[in-house]
Amino acid sequence: MSGKFIVVEGLEGAGKSSVIGLIIKALESAGMGVEQTREPGGTPMAEAIRECVKQSWDESVAEETELLLMYAARVQLLTNRIYPALEAGKWVVGDRHDLSSQAYQGGGRGVNPTTMNAMRDIALKGFKPDLTIYLDVEPAIGLERARGRGELDRIEQAGIAFFERTRARYLALAEADESIIVVDAMQPMAMVHSDVSKVIAGYIA
């Protein structure tokens, strides 16, 4: 694979969409072919799974059910979009990837680490992003921003304690992996964009 895989991660309201747009523009300006993806989703089947995950149900959704659906969608995206794009020499910019599952289902939901590692190994077979930018925001701030966009989905309604655990797992994983860059997303957006631009410029130089 000759392309690179860059992922943007963060809690709801962290500003991922605008940062992804910034990264894509920078890569295209540098002459890269770019493919944009999102998780869960990105293929017809994966988008159907996304709807299944996001909507509310008149029954309890087991943590393992949510986890399995996330990985099912991820494998579809990898097989049909990400791997082919990388093999064609494109740079893929992803809105979330496996780090989201590790943080949301592993940290927020509290799924057993053994289960998390087994699912990751089965689905990804050692594949990981070349660079991950984690936009760090306090849950209360992020959720307030998310509410400003409209009605919250099932996962966004999980409660502040859930997002505190999710953020803590994100930060712990970032500290242990030098390919994950943490950017303070509580700054004004212009400063967030400036920090991200520096990261990308240094990466593609």
The answer to pTM > 0.75 is yes
Q: What is the pLDDT of residues 16-54, one digit of tens each?
A: 999 999 999 999 999 999 999 999 999 999 999 999 998
pLDDT at residue number 151: 65
With CA atoms as reference, report the closest residue to 31 among 56, 5, 63, 3.
Answer: 3
Kindly report each contact of residues 117-122 with a partner whose C-beta sits within 8 Å and lies 24 or more positions away, as own/partner.
Answer: 119/67, 119/68, 119/71, 120/71, 122/71
Q: How confident is the model at residue 83 (pLDDT cuts 50, 70, 90)?
A: very high
**CA-CA distances (angstroms) from residue 114 to 102, 106, 119, 139, 167?**
11, 10, 9, 27, 20
Q: Do the beta carbons of residue 89 and residue 33 sit within 8 Å?
A: yes
Portion of the chain with pLDDT greater than 90, in percent: 87
Strand 34-38 relative to strand 180-184: parallel, antiparallel, unpaired?
Answer: unpaired
Q: Do the beta carbons of residue 136 and residue 9 sit within 8 Å?
A: no
pLDDT at residue number 46: 98
With CA atoms as reference, report the closest residue to 25 among 14, 15, 36.
Answer: 36
Domain edges within the chain: 5-204
Q: What is the pLDDT of residues 86-144, one digit of tens each?
A: 999 999 999 999 999 999 999 999 999 999 999 999 999 999 999 999 999 999 998 88
What CATH architecture is 5-204? 3-Layer(aba) Sandwich (3.40)
Instruction: Give me the chain's average pLDDT, please.
Output: 94
